[in-house]
């Protein structure tokens, strides 16, 4: 009996932790890549998958094929207005995301901060 109750409590905590982690990623994030490129990223988590948009001086581009595993974030490669991005990776750290963008063979780093309403 005690084992069953303990197992239910552990399972409930695990499920709530996973749901809480994915809900933390939803929303608007702003920052700079390489201290030069201002960006706004809107991220949506739906059924364990991430999507959204990125807004920069070039306009708005879709983000697709995103995943959140633990605190690691990744999105599929993309191309927008002739600019190819081979990967977008990040690490969620509370209200910050440390991000690395693969662009023309370079790792371009930046930090995004959550926009609070």
Question: What is the residue range of 102's domain?
Answer: 2-114
SS3 26: coil
What are the pLDDT digits (tens) for 42-64?
999 988 799 999 999 888 989 89
CATH classification at residue 88 = 2.40.128.20
Cα 18 to Cα 68: distance, rounded to the nearest angstrom: 10
Torsion (CA) 93, 97, 102, 108 in degrees, nearest 10: -110
| Domain count across the chain | 1
Mean pLDDT by groups of 10 residues along the chain of 117 residues: 47 40 80 92 90 90 91 88 87 95 90 92
pTM of the model: 0.75
């Amino acid at each position: 009996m005690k084992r069953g109750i303990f197992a239910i409590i552990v399972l409930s905590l695990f499920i709530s932790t996973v749901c809480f982690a994915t809900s933390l990623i939803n929303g608007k994030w702003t920052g700079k890549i390489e201290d030069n490129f201002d960006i706004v990223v809107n991220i949506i988590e739906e059924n364990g998958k991430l999507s959204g948009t990125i807004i920069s001086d070039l306009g708005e581009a879709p983000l697709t094929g995103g995943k959140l595993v633990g605190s690691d974030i990744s999105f599929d490669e993309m191309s927008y207005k002739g600019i190819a991005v081979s990967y977008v990776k990040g690490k969620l750290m509370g209200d910050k995301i440390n991000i690395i963008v693969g662009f023309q063979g370079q790792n371009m780093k930046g930090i995004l901060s959550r926009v609070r309403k």
